[in-house]
Amino acid sequence: MADLALHFYNDSKETETHFAELKHLDLVARLKALEWRVQRKGVEALDPSKNRLIHVTMEMDETGRKVKKDLLGVFHLGWQAGEHPEWAEEIGLELETLRSGLKKAHGVRLRFVIWAGMGGSAEDKSMYQALGLLKKGPRYYALDSTDPAKLKHILDDIQRRSKLDLASALKRTLVVGMALGMTSYEPVVNLEQLAALYDGLGIDSRANFIYMTVPGSLLDQFARKRGYRRIELQMDGHYSTAGRHSSPLTRGSLYPLGLCGVDLGAWIAGANLGDGDIDAAWRLSSFLHAQIEARRDKVTLVLPKALAGAALWTKQEFEESLGKSEAWGIKIIIDEKVRLPHYRSRKEPGQDRAFLCVQEKGSLDGQREKAAALRRAGYPVAVLTLPRRMVLSRYMQFIHYCVFGLAWLRDMNFVTQPGVELYKAIANRIHGESKRLGGIQKTAAWREILGTERRSKWRGRVTLHHWGVEAAGRTAPQIYAAMVQAAIAGRNEYAELTFFGDTRFSARGRAVRVKMARAAEALFLSRLKIPVDIYEGPAMNHSYHEMIIGHGRCFSTILLAETVEKPRELDYPADYHQAQYLATIQALEQRGRAVTAVTLKDLEPATLDALEEFFRQAARLV
């Protein structure tokens, strides 16, 4: 196995100090010993007071004195990979059973896969698709939102591509539900709608639906009653991975790859890291920790074109794992062109950037030049050089180890997600109230956030909902500019623009994303020189919102369209999706974070033009 090459520039001596600590502790041996004990005696035998590793790698009860769940599977599966070459063949046989099940039930071959899951249960598949790994099999769709519009546009695309009526197309579709939390409700919402659609079309859906979850979870309760097939998530039959750690070696990661002809033998073997790879991961952990100690916690990730689709997965792995502390933070900045004028000078006291530049050995795609420019400008830079055509699973497992190394240095649990759990609990409460009262607009949250007089319209199409700032006599862009300035003055160091709606399959949703990207460039990067997250909610509430809720220091602008698109064949209410929107804002407010809400009349071109003008006017005032 060719070694990974890692070089640091404009670094500090603390990096070597941290690396020496990680090496001296022989953490891999200690992890293996801990997992050996769990396998033989169970988590009940563990005493958290006697082993710091338990606090870093496992889920505790409310007292912190007892272990609720062993979550070492992210490493244990990699160690087992070298001992189980038969896993690849087993997956192939299981997938053939699914294909033959469709043939037997409906006389058709598999052509489409709808994957219903949130955050880590879906993001790895989206990465595989972006990197071209899912091109040679059934068409894959990530149903990672409860927005009815997303399901509508997925169904429309399936019909368009199949050139069949909907019933015939759905017979050729495999629906997968995946959730690794006991209370994860989003996949259930979507599976309820899809099951109702199959029922309405007179299709027996039992051959078309499978699910992967923890026994007894909300998803398990729903799917079991329907007679759907539960698939064991891990090849070893355990439940010791968190959602974002379910890749690259659980069935949740291997099934879509196997369906598309990826060499699973090479994939599984690639995730079994050697000592050199693990040492490189510890070194990168040490570099990043040293930068964070120096208050350079905005890490700009620069990936080669061949690996660009891995940016969001990498961001999620760091931020959902390490974003829960107000004291420590690490912001992974992605999809940003390297432009030195957008960064504060290295001599400025507020310079808080470091850079991780990844390149392929022998590649001529300009990565070396970017790293060299940053190095000459005096910024701290880590350059990770990968072998050509390296198996992606190796990169993923390398990142897992790097994140764990950081967690150890910070003495932080890297598997729990309290911010996500807070937002989910609020969303479920609002949704329950909505069902009792007969509509989301009757809930207290809707009235408090969107139903007050603290709002200002722009061009009759864009509404800014504001609080904590003087609004009298000001236009909406003026109010928003004042909110931005107040947030920056209050030590907020980056921003997010998140649209609660489909930005992947809908042309209008993609247009919203373009408008947000332009706003990010004009307002936050050019004017204020602070990084910006741009994405779709609530999918990323399961990844980077852990950082925003937990660590803070972000100014959040959360957008929602007032009109709702629905599948023609379903009366799919948007109440839960809107509850998630409101819950996001309330979770941020509850933690004292800077947040504002923007609602759009619709997604017509005139409204999107008004949105762009709103941001452009605000940028001129900052």
> Tens digits of per-residue pLDDT, 325-362?
998 889 999 999 899 999 999 888 889 999 999 999 88
Q: For residues 477 and 487, what is the distance between their CA atoms, to the nearest angstrom? A: 15
pLDDT, position 357 = 96
Neighbour-count burial of 586, counting CB atoms closer than 10 A to its CB (0-12 exposed, 13-18 middle, 19+ buried)? buried
Residues 179 and 280 placed together within one structural domain of the fold: no
Report yes or no: 285 and 22 within 8 Å, Cβ to Cβ: yes
Report, as an integer, the average pLDDT of 526-546.
Answer: 86
Residue 432 CB neighbour total at 10 angstroms: 12
Report, as an integer, the average pLDDT of 554-572.
Answer: 95
Residues 429 and 490 placed together within one structural domain of the fold: yes
Q: For residues 574 and 576, what is the distance between their CA atoms, to the nearest angstrom? A: 6
Average pLDDT, the chain: 94
Q: For residues 302 and 383, what is the distance between their CA atoms, to the nearest angstrom? A: 9
Residues 162 and 227 placed together within one structural domain of the fold: yes
The DSSP code sequence of 507-522 is HHHHHHHHHHHHHIII
Residues 545 and 600 placed together within one structural domain of the fold: yes
CA distances to 3, 245, 364, 389 from 395, in Å? 12, 13, 20, 11
Rounded to 10 degrees, the C-alpha dihedral 134/135/138/142 comes to 50
Residue 94, domain member (yes or no): no
Residue 366's pLDDT band, with cuts at 50, 70 and 90, is: confident
- What is the identity of the amino acid at 217? S
> Nearest Cα to 291, choosing from 345, 338, 356?
356
Q: For residues 139 and 483, what is the distance between their CA atoms, to the nearest angstrom? A: 43
Residue 82, domain member (yes or no): no
Q: For residues 271 and 264, what is the distance between their CA atoms, to the nearest angstrom? A: 11
Residues 151 and 256 placed together within one structural domain of the fold: yes
Residue 564, domain member (yes or no): yes
Where does a domain end: 374, 390, 410?
A: 410
The predicted-structure confidence for 445-483, as pLDDT tens digits, reads as follows: 999 999 999 999 999 999 999 988 888 899 999 999 999
Produce one character per residue of 313-327: b if its CB has 16 or more CB atoms within 10 Å, e if not.
bbbbbbbbbbbbbee
The predicted-structure confidence for 303-321, as pLDDT tens digits, reads as follows: 999 999 999 999 999 999 9
Residues 433 and 564 placed together within one structural domain of the fold: yes
Residue 312, domain member (yes or no): yes
Q: Helices 575-590 and 418-437 sit at what angle, rounded to 10 degrees? A: 130
pLDDT, position 201 = 97
- No. of helices (H) and no. of strands (E), the chain: 23, 18
Name the percent of the chain lying above pLDDT 70: 99
Q: For residues 254 and 268, what is the distance between their CA atoms, to the nearest angstrom? A: 9
Report, as an integer, the average pLDDT of 78-94.
Answer: 93
Produce one character per residue of 158-193: b if its CB has 16 or more CB atoms within 10 Å, e if not.
beeebebebeebbbbbbbbbbbbbeebbbbbbbbeb
Where does a domain end: 262, 285, 318?
A: 262
**What is the enclosing helix (H) or strand (E) of 181?**
none
Residues 578 and 438 placed together within one structural domain of the fold: yes
The predicted-structure confidence for 392-434, as pLDDT tens digits, reads as follows: 999 999 999 999 999 999 999 999 888 888 999 999 999 999 9
Residues 550 and 463 placed together within one structural domain of the fold: yes
**Which two tokens mark 310?**
């891995």
Residues 26 and 63 placed together within one structural domain of the fold: yes
Report yes or no: 115 and 195 within 8 Å, Cβ to Cβ: no
pLDDT, position 1 = 58
Q: Is a pLDDT exceeding 80 seen at residue 544?
A: no
Report yes or no: 184 and 118 within 8 Å, Cβ to Cβ: yes
Residue 320, domain member (yes or no): yes
Q: For residues 241 and 231, what is the distance between their CA atoms, to the nearest angstrom? A: 15
* Residue tagged 């059934």 (tokens): 138
Q: For residues 162 and 184, what is the distance between their CA atoms, to the nearest angstrom? A: 32
CATH number of residue 27's parent domain: 3.40.50
pLDDT, position 577 = 96
Residue 461, domain member (yes or no): yes
Residue 101, domain member (yes or no): no
Q: For residues 260 and 249, what is the distance between their CA atoms, to the nearest angstrom? A: 16
Q: Is a pLDDT exceeding 90 seen at residue 570?
A: yes
Residue 3's pLDDT band, with cuts at 50, 70 and 90, is: confident
Report, as an integer, the average pLDDT of 188-203.
Answer: 97
Q: For residues 310 and 398, what is the distance between their CA atoms, to the nearest angstrom? A: 13
Residues 578 and 551 placed together within one structural domain of the fold: yes
Report yes or no: 501 and 512 within 8 Å, Cβ to Cβ: yes
Bridge partners of 59? 69
Q: Is a pLDDT exceeding 90 seen at residue 277?
A: yes
Residue 253, domain member (yes or no): yes
Where does a domain end: 262, 292, 313?
A: 262
Helix, strand, coil distribution of the chain in percent, nearest 5: 50, 15, 35
The predicted-structure confidence for 571-590, as pLDDT tens digits, reads as follows: 999 999 999 999 999 999 99
Report, as an integer, the average pLDDT of 150-179.
Answer: 97
- What phi and psi values does residue 258 have, to the nearest 5 degrees? -65, -40
> Sign of the C-alpha dihedral, residues 599, 604, 608, 613?
negative
Q: Is a pLDDT exceeding 80 seen at residue 14?
A: yes
**What is the enclosing helix (H) or strand (E) of 92?**
helix 87-106
Residues 150 and 233 placed together within one structural domain of the fold: yes
Residues 480 and 513 placed together within one structural domain of the fold: yes
pLDDT, position 362 = 81
> Nearest Cα to 481, choosing from 537, 531, 519, 453?
519
Residue 543's pLDDT band, with cuts at 50, 70 and 90, is: low
**Domain of 449, in residue numbers:** 418-621
**What is the enclosing helix (H) or strand (E) of 504?**
none
Q: For residues 100 and 92, what is the distance between their CA atoms, to the nearest angstrom? A: 12
CATH number of residue 577's parent domain: 3.40.50.10490
Total domain count for the chain?
3
